[in-house]
Amino acid sequence: MTMYDVIVPVNLLFASQPRLAASRRSCTDSGTMSTFPIPIVVLTAMEAVDCIFQGRGNVASYHQDCVASGLCQPDISETDFLLNFRRRIRGLRWNPFCHRPIISDLQNDCLIVQDGIELCCLSKALGKSWVKVSMPEDVHARWLARSTDDLDNAVVRFSRKSFYNPVEHPAYRKAKIGRPDSIRLDRIRKLLGPIGPGLCGLDIGCNMGYTSHHLQRQGFRMTGIDYDENHLAVARALTTTYGLDVRFENCYFRQFQTDKPFDVVVALTVLYHMFYRQEEQDIPECSRMDKGAVMKKLDALTRHALLWESGPDPGREIDFIRSNSGLTDYYSLGPTQGTGKKRELGVFLRPDSSLNDYLKKRHAAHFAGR
Ligand SMILES: C[S@@+](CC[C@H](N)C(=O)[O-])C[C@H]1O[C@@H](n2cnc3c(N)ncnc32)[C@H](O)[C@@H]1O
């Protein structure tokens, strides 16, 4: 079989593993989840690689997975497994001739890694955004068929010189990006784990749709809203490039109408604009909605979780959200860096939500004490 070497975004690398699919079914009640691929940052292999690089956590889950799938001897102790694993990772890191990860499929715009998961996780841990992989001819043809025509037109139409977030396409690999890293996405994925299929999400102030697109890749039915048509033109064009079907609506949050709440609401560096900045700037379309009314609407729209990134004063926003909504449980996902500014990423949960226990456990496993 002819294989092609291609450079691809690390954030499009997913795995489809039957054992992981089985464990996913136990996370929620939905039986439809097993066909959906899992982003590599959610894999136990990533936990194990992080354990080596950051000295936190352990390799126990990956050890169990490797034993269960026959990738290592059933009687190997965790200590020996860790020693071998560390040696293997060191070898991969320093051997420029090691085999490239092999991609077996392009599913729902996710590159399915068939072989070389550890190298993919290593690339992620080393902070790489792109990695060289090998793919067979049919996958390669589908990969190349992701056209950027609509995006190219939007860029020309709006004289766009840069993007807020990365574009997951080789033609825009060198584009100027406001927030080039994917720290927020990685943390959100680690918190959510393999859930997505059967759930819906709303991304407020979605800009070019970066988070919406990524959450839809892992199975969420996503809606993104933003008042800026320039940003939404990019979001829509990228939806075509990626072959996804996120619904984007050009409106202010105040104007957004829906007849049902969303399982997960995403509001990254946008509530601060709505609560404080837009009042101060007296934007006509927003001035009629004070922050109490914004919060009431947000509360009604959020069924389980509000994923949030702050403005310059996280404490002020946290207090306001907790005391003006049913989203009273707050868990920090750590500090972040906006476009040169310090921010905080976190999640607000409802104490009575059916996802509360699941998300709290994932938070304890991946974020507590960090
Ligand atoms: C700082 S950017 C953050 C973009 C994205 N949420 C992220 O963090 O990657 C804020 C975005 O929110 C949008 N926005 C601000 N106020 C809004 C409002 N009241 N309704 C809808 N979108 C809004 C802006 O157009 C902009 O795209």
pLDDT at 24 over 50: no
The residue nearest atom 8 of ligand 1, judged by CA position, is 268
130 and 170 co-located in one domain: no
Query: What are the pocket residues of ligand 1 if the criterion is a CB atom closer than 6 Å to any ligand atom?
Result: 164-165, 205-207, 210, 225-228, 231, 252-253, 268-270, 273-274, 286, 309
User: Under a CB-based contact definition with an 8 Å cutoff, are residues 272 and 293 in contact?
Assistant: no
Instruction: Give CA–CA dist 111/145, Å, rounded.
Output: 14
Q: How far is CA 75 from CA 66, 71, 72, 78, in A?
A: 11, 12, 9, 9
172 and 116 co-located in one domain: no
Residue-averaged pLDDT of the chain = 91
Kindly report, residue by residue over 307-357, the tens digit of the pLDDT: 999 999 999 999 999 999 999 999 999 999 877 789 999 999 999 999 999
Kindly report, residue by residue over 55-93, the tens digit of the pLDDT: 888 899 999 999 998 888 889 999 999 999 999 999 998
235 and 255 co-located in one domain: yes
224 and 359 co-located in one domain: yes
Kindly report, residue by residue over 217-276, the tens digit of the pLDDT: 999 999 999 999 999 999 999 999 999 999 999 999 989 999 999 999 999 999 988 887
140 and 198 co-located in one domain: no
Distance 234 CA to ligand 1 centre (A): 14
CATH assignment at residue 204: 3.40.50.150
233 and 300 co-located in one domain: yes
Domain closes at, from 144, 176, 205 = 144
183 and 303 co-located in one domain: yes
Instruction: Give CA–CA dist 211/307, Å, rounded.
Output: 11
pLDDT category at 129 given cuts 50, 70, 90 is very high
User: Under a CB-based contact definition with an 8 Å cutoff, are residues 219 and 199 in contact?
Assistant: yes
Domain closes at, from 144, 175, 207 = 144
For 146, the token pair is: 């992701």
> Beta strands 329-337 and 342-349: pairing type?
antiparallel
Distance 206 CA to ligand 1 centre (A): 6
pLDDT category at 163 given cuts 50, 70, 90 is very high
pLDDT at 31 over 80: no
Domain closes at, from 144, 162, 188 = 144
Distance 252 CA to ligand 1 centre (A): 9
Distance 144 CA to ligand 1 centre (A): 31
- Closest ligand 1 atom to residue 285 Cα is 19
Residue 223's pLDDT is what?
98
320 and 184 co-located in one domain: yes
Ligand 1: residue of 11, 179, 226, 277 to mutate (most ligand atoms within 8 A of CB) is 226
Distance 32 CA to ligand 1 centre (A): 33
What's the domain range around 287?
Answer: 149-366
pTM, full prediction = 0.93
> Where does 243-355 have alpha helices with state H?
271-272, 278-281, 284-287, 291-301, 314-323
129 and 50 co-located in one domain: yes
**Structural domain count of the chain:** 2
267 and 207 co-located in one domain: yes
Ligand 1: residue of 203, 207, 297, 339 to mutate (most ligand atoms within 8 A of CB) is 207
- Closest ligand 1 atom to residue 286 Cα is 19
104 and 74 co-located in one domain: yes
130 and 157 co-located in one domain: no
pLDDT at 19 over 80: no
278-281-285 Cα angle (round to 5): 55
Q: What is the mean pLDDT of residues 80-109?
A: 91
pLDDT category at 22 given cuts 50, 70, 90 is very low
Kindly report, residue by residue over 172-228, the tens digit of the pLDDT: 999 999 999 999 999 999 999 999 999 999 999 999 999 999 999 999 999 999 999
The residue nearest atom 12 of ligand 1, judged by CA position, is 205
Distance 231 CA to ligand 1 centre (A): 9
Distance 153 CA to ligand 1 centre (A): 22
